[in-house]
Amino acid sequence: MNKKLLEILDCNHCHKGSLRMPSGNDELICTNCNQKYDIANNVPLLLQYTEPEEQPATELHKNQGTLFNYIEHYQKDAKVYNYFSERDSGTEHGDRRVREYIASQISLKKGRILDVGCGKAWVARDFCPQGFEVTSMDISLENTSEALKRYPFENHSAVVADAYSPPFKKNSFDYIIASEIIEHVAYPDNFVKSLFQILKPGGVLIVTTPYKEKIRYSLCVHCNKPTPFNAHLHSFDEKILTSLYTEPDLKQCHYQTFGNKILIHLRLHVILKYLNFKVWKILDRIMNKVYFVPLRILVKWKKIQ
């Protein structure tokens, strides 16, 4: 396990002690309450387990009288769906532009980055070689273990944890990236608030998500109740997103929309993939001025210095 990670880890049980690693490298122990956390594949398991009925419920689940055990759901999801597999060229082009938009918001030359819901761990792949300390965080061991296996940089660490209860000390990260995650969580405002607390003064939280998505449903073959495609629970626009966090420690909040749907539906990625980000961004903005149908929105919250 990356020893530098111990500098910022917090005990998810008492929130009063640091974590130490005794000999053996197979567990962490809190210096205050002696709570033990296992380490598997060099990844500390820092989930704060709760009973399903105590976990956040969406309006969808309340209306249907069902429980949403999101921890179990996304742990199974990681076993069924390989986030590191190759995707079709159109999807990959869209993902590339999301990554480029996020990267354009990183102004520092070094620092700590937390990748929330790390997926295929592109943040570690792109930013560790630049000298950033990157922590890949996911609710599943599969994704975090594979992230370390593929990108075994000395400045890359990983944790299994929940964004509602991130196991880090306050003021730990210069940047927190949560790309295509917020549409999956039950309470987006709590999600943003919990992450904002572990930003350093002057730190930046970057979130991307589908813009004004029309959520579609299918009928579940198991329970015969409507279930949203891709487990998307919320649809966002700039007004909803920018209102999620307005506490006194917020310095500024900006948003950008991008990814013109016309260009996507015409499958022009076969040509556009040859354009660098700056040229593609100009073209995309022109298209959205002609016909405003962006597919994505990026919101950046900056913490007061």
Over residues 1-21, mean pLDDT: 90
| CA dist 305 → 103, 128, 252, 301 (Å) | 22, 25, 11, 13
For residue range 229-275, list pLDDT tens digits in order: 999 999 999 999 999 999 999 999 999 999 999 999 999 999 999 99
The CATH architecture to which 42-303 belongs is 3-Layer(aba) Sandwich (3.40)
> For the chain, what percent of residues have pLDDT higher than 70?
97
pLDDT above 90 (res 77): yes
Alpha-carbon distance of 1 to 212, in angstroms, equals 41
Whether residue 164 contacts residue 191, with contact meaning beta carbons closer than 8 Å, is answered with yes
**Pick from 185, 228, 243, 245: nearest CA to 209:** 185
pLDDT above 80 (res 190): yes
pLDDT confidence of 61, banded at 50, 70, 90?
confident
pLDDT confidence of 293, banded at 50, 70, 90?
very high
pLDDT confidence of 2, banded at 50, 70, 90?
confident
pLDDT confidence of 222, banded at 50, 70, 90?
confident
Domain boundaries, the chain: 42-303
Alpha-carbon distance of 220 to 270, in angstroms, equals 35
Cα–Cα–Cα angle for 211, 128, 1, rounded to 5 degrees? 110
CA 158 to chain centre: 13
Whether residue 197 contacts residue 188, with contact meaning beta carbons closer than 8 Å, is answered with no
Q: Which residue has the higher pLDDT, 41 or 23?
A: 41
pLDDT above 90 (res 55): no
Name the token pair of 192.
Answer: 């943003």
State the average pLDDT for the chain: 93
Q: Which residue has the higher pLDDT, 259 or 86?
A: 259
| Main-chain phi, psi angles of 131, to 5 degrees | 105, 0
pLDDT for the residue numbered 286: 98
pLDDT above 70 (res 54): no
105 CB contacts (<8 Å, ≥6 apart)? 204, 206, 298, 300
For residue range 105-141, list pLDDT tens digits in order: 999 999 999 999 999 999 999 999 999 999 999 999 9
pLDDT above 60 (res 52): no
pLDDT above 60 (res 53): no
Q: Which residue has the higher pLDDT, 58 or 140?
A: 140
Alpha-carbon distance of 174 to 205, in angstroms, equals 9
